Chain A
Amino acid sequence: MKQLLRSTFLIPAMLAALTLVGLVAALFGGGGFDILSWLCLGSAIAVIVLARIFAGARDQN
């Protein structure tokens, strides 16, 4: 995990790949594809929320 956070472009590249899957999935189907799309694209939003929570918690200490 530490290694992952240390690397400049590893997580951004993973998020970009997830975004791409999310954008395309909903184009090619409904139902399960839509849910896959929401999860993949939602990951970007989740990262921001998590970053804010962790940064806030660290500042408390």
Chain B
Amino acid sequence: MTSRTVRLWSLIHKWSSLICTVFLLMLCITGLPLILHDEIEHALDTSEPWVPANPDGPMLSLDAILAAAEANRPGEVPLFMSFDEDRPVVNVTSGPTPDAPGSQMYFERFDRTSGEIVPAPTGDGGVMDFILQLHTDMFLGLPGMLFLGLMGLLFTLAIVSGVVLYAPFMRKLDFATLRLNRSSRVKWLDYHNLLGIVALLWMTIVGLTGVVNTLAVPMLEIWQNDSLVDLTSEYGDTSVVTDLTSVQSAVDRAREEAPGAWVQFVAFPGGSWSTDHHLAVFIRGDTPATSHIVTPVLIEADTGTFAAMREMPWYMKVLAFSGPLHFGDYGGLPLKIIWFILDLFTIIILVTGLYLWLAKGQRKASASQDLNIAEFAE
């Protein structure tokens, strides 16, 4: 590699890092509690363990649950219905309009055996919600989300340029060299390089899946226009269906199409996960490999007849896998702890990177400019 090329890559590394560092630091620091949010919420939850009202009783129909939800939030329309895996609880999300934004949605849990409201976990007083919001969009909605996605792309560029620069730095050094008794600049440079090259793929995957997650809203729009538009084109009437068929029978009908599959959630007409005329019943496979991929079964919202089962296009599958690969919540507590430690490594890489840049700036005032590889690679 010529010194010219090295200089070019070091410029790329410097600027891509500098621009995204402060946001990446925020993301990594807020990410730490988010990785363990289940455990934190569980530890802070002081309420009695919940038990169903009629543990051995029959399950109420989903229509009865929906009626309970509508009585609880008069005037609102249902948006989503989802199902807890480990207890007979149905979650209903409602809002003032079928296309209500997330900030106006209302989420409530219902006991499937009684229709009663299941108390929300108590404890953190909304701190975790605040952290999640900061991490997702910095309270700026879609523009904030897309901006953080852009920072994620810069982070990826910083990683790639960092790997390119790793080669000349390490030319005369063994792998994993840490020169602890040298100047603090050399010592932290060694740490920066070692942590960076070791966590390389993890940082890239978590970074890029984070970028994909920021694109969820536009991707859903593309999916609707791309895959579902033919289902709606035959309707002359463009208004959202409000006189709904039985949700229970729609779910039963959907399960006939895919025996053995789990019902993940139901999206109501007019929202971003369905069309104006369909109930979308999202089913997922019952094997580990298929459980991350959901497939919508579309049921005519007014008549309850089967309309279509549409396999998700590739970009929606990418989105589906970007959730677990970003959150690290798919392999038990040990995986979360590994995620936590690698996140800490990333924070050290960011801070040492900033330190090295500042330290170099100080030196620059007195001596040579540009990156002096010979000096580092003694």
Closest to B197 in A: A12
Cα distance, A7 to B167, chains bound together (Å): 10
Which chain B residue shows the least CB distance to A50? Answer: B176
Is there contact, CB below 8 Å, between A55 and B325? no
A residues in contact with B199, CB < 8 Å: 44
Contact of B198 among A48, A56, A59 (CB under 8 A): A48
- Size range of the chain B interface in the assembly: 35 or more
Cα(A5)–Cα(B176), bound, Å: 8
Asked, given contacts A6-B174, A8-B170, whether A26 binds B341 with beta carbons under 8 Å apart, the answer is no
Taken residue by residue from 328 to 364, chain B's Cβ proximity to chain A (1 for < 8 Å, 0 otherwise) reads as 0011101100100110010000000000000000000
Q: Helix, strand, loop or mixed for chain B's interface?
A: helix
Give residues of chain A (1-26) contacting chain B, Cβ–Cβ below 8 Å. Answer: 4-12, 15-16, 19-20, 23, 26
In the complex, whether B125 has a CB less than 8 A from a CB of chain A is no
Give which listed residue, A10, A12, A23, contacts B325 with CB less than 8 A: A23
Given contacts A9-B167, A15-B198, A41-B202, A56 and B176 within 8 Å (CB-CB)? no
Residues of A contacting B181 in the complex (Cβ-Cβ under 8 angstroms): 59
Report the minimum CB–CB distance from A4 to chain B (whole Å): 7
Interface residues on A, range: 35 or more
- The answer on a CB contact under 8 Å between B198 and A27 is no
> By the criterion CB–CB under 8 Å, are A16 and B195 in contact?
no
| Cβ distance A28 to chain B, nearest Cβ, rounded Å | 5
Query: B174, B177, B197, B292: which contacts A27 (Cβ < 8 A)?
Result: B292
- A54 CA to B31 CA, complexed, in Å: 31
Given contacts A7-B175, A59-B180, contact A26 B198 (CB under 8 A): no
Q: In the complex, A12 Cα to B193 Cα: how many Å?
A: 11
Contact of B288 among A4, A8, A15, A28 (CB under 8 A): A28
* A51 cross-chain contacts in B, Cβ below 8 A: 176-178, 194
The answer to whether B289 and A34 touch across the interface, beta carbons within 8 angstroms, is: no
CB closest residue in chain B, given A34: B331
Question: B310 within 8 Å of A by Cβ?
Answer: no
Q: Mark B162-185, 1 if CB is under 8 A from A, else 0.
A: 000011001100111111110000
- Taken together as a complex, chains A and B put the C-alpha atoms of A56 and B190 apart, in Å, by 14
CB of B342 within 8 A of CB of A38, answer no
Given A44-B199, A48-B195, are A38 and B335 also a contact pair (CB < 8 Å)? yes
Chain B residues with CB under 8 Å of A55's CB are 176-180
Taken together as a complex, chains A and B put the C-alpha atoms of A54 and B60 apart, in Å, by 63
B180, B200, B330: the one contacting A56 at CB < 8 Å is: B180
Interface pairs (8), CB distance under 8 Å = A12-B197, A16-B200, A34-B334, A34-B335, A38-B334, A41-B338, A55-B177, A55-B178
The 3 closest A-B pairs by CB, nearest first: A26-B331, A55-B178, A51-B176
10 more CB-based (< 8 A) A-B contacts, given A55-B179, A59-B180: A12-B175, A15-B201, A23-B325, A27-B289, A34-B331, A42-B338, A44-B198, A48-B195, A51-B176, A52-B178
